[in-house]
Amino acid sequence: MRNYYIAANWKMHMTVSEAVALAQDLVAKLGKSKERVMIAPPFTALAAVAQVIRGSSLVLGAQNMGPETKGAHTGEISPLMLKDLGVKAVILGHSERRHSYLETDELINRKVLLALEQELQPILCVGETLAEREAGKLEAVVGGQVREGLKGVSAAALATVTIAYEPVWAIGTGKTATPEDADAVHGYIRIVLTSLYGEAAAKAMVIQYGGSVKADNAAELMAKPNIDGALVGGASLKAETFVPIVSFR
Ligand code: 13P
């Protein structure tokens, strides 16, 4: 039976004390979960949350990182700083970074390569807007984001990369892609991965779904053959809504 990879993206929520309280609750309720669980607090709460989850099975993640290790980059956070705090995974190319902060595939690819070089596990986010879907560009957009995001990633390094498919129109809207729709896109991502890395690597790739994942749709989504986990936003902000997602089976 496969293990699922469920990640919590707290986005720009939580003061340090709120983050600590939630992390304590999650350690108590999920500290021994059989699923792989990652939580990504805002940068300001990473150090405090790292202390709380130490010794548990919860993995510490960051929501973004800068494309350089150090230097004159005002406002950026280096992968070295993340590692220093115990961060193991990093979300890259989230649609909010792509659309609100105009991150390009080229920049996201630089971050993916740097994360891998620094032994941080990237979660590369991809996904189409509603307009792109309606214009029949879903495969071109998602396929392009996968190809460009992984440019220069070796087959060996790919094993530590996760892809998160997050249709932009399903994020924070309460609209979820149907499990069938999501599974079809995940299947397409595997076709792209097969063309890049071969069938075995494509099969082994962990592909999360994100976009209005809740306790009441998690089991249905996760039952699909190509869906290996979830990247959860809104429902990850409270133990009472996140724990049932992780404990969907
Ligand atoms: P919601 O779960 O709030 O739709 O957010 C999804 C997301 O963007 C996770 O990265």
- What is the SS3 assignment for 214-243? CHHHHHHHHCCCCCCEEEECHHHCCHHHHH
Which helix (DSSP H) or strand (DSSP E) does residue 134 occupy? Answer: helix 130-134
Is 71 strand, coil or helix? coil
| pLDDT value of residue 175 | 83
Instruction: Tell me if 97 is assigned to some domain.
Output: yes
Q: Is 172 in the pocket of ligand 1 (CB under 6 A)?
A: yes
- Residue 93 Cβ contacting ligand 1 at under 6 Å: no
What CATH number is given to the structural domain containing 127?
A: 3.20.20.70
Catalytic machinery residues: 94, 166
C-alpha of residue 10 to centroid of ligand 1, in Å: 9
User: Which pLDDT belongs to residue 69?
Assistant: 98
In a domain, 70, yes or no: no
Q: Say if CB 226 and CB 186 are below 8 A apart.
A: yes
Any domain includes 113: yes
CA 160 from centre of chain: 12
Report the candidate in 49, 50, 37 with the shortest Cα–Cα distance to residue 13.
49
CA distances from 174 to 8, 42, 168, 230 (A): 17, 23, 12, 15
CA distance 59 to 212: 22
Domain annotation covers residue 231: yes
Write the pLDDT tens digit of every residue in 191-209. 999 999 999 999 999 999 9
Which among 213, 217, 245 is the best mutation to test ligand 1's pocket, defined by most ligand atoms within 8 Å of the CB?
A: 213
Question: Is 182 part of any domain?
Answer: yes
Distance CA 87, CA 80 (A): 10
Which of 231, 242, 245 most suits a substitution to test ligand 1, by most atoms within 8 Å of the C-beta? 231
For position 31, what pLDDT does the model report? Answer: 81
Domain assignment of residue 36, yes or no: yes
Closest atom of ligand 1 to 125 CA is 10
Select from 166, 209, 238, 242 the residue to mutate for testing ligand 1; criterion: most ligand atoms less than 8 Å from CB: 166
Strand partners, 206: 162
The tokens describing 86, both together, are 């115990």
Is 83 domain-assigned? yes
pTM as predicted: 0.97
Domain that holds residue 225: 5-65+75-246
Q: Report how many domains make up the chain.
A: 1
DSSP secondary structure letter of residue 45: G
Q: Is the CB of 236 under 6 A from ligand 1?
A: no
Phi/psi region, residue 128 (left: phi>0; alpha: psi -120 to 50; beta: rest), is beta
Please tell me the residue having the least CA distance from ligand 1 atom 9: 233
- Counts of helices then strands in the chain (DSSP H, E): 12, 8
In sequence order, which ranges of the chain are alpha helices (DSSP H)?
Answer: 16-30, 46-53, 79-84, 95-100, 105-117, 130-134, 138-149, 155-158, 179-197, 199-204, 215-222, 239-246
Regions of the chain with pLDDT less than 70: 1
Of residues 80, 142, 83, 152, the one with CA closest to residue 112: 152
Ligand 1 centroid – CA 72 distance (Å): 32
Read off φ and ψ for residue 157, nearest 5 degrees: -70, -30
Res 174: pLDDT: 84
Q: How far is the CA of 233 from the centre of ligand 1 (A)?
A: 3
Which pLDDT score, from 0 to 100, does residue 176 have? 82
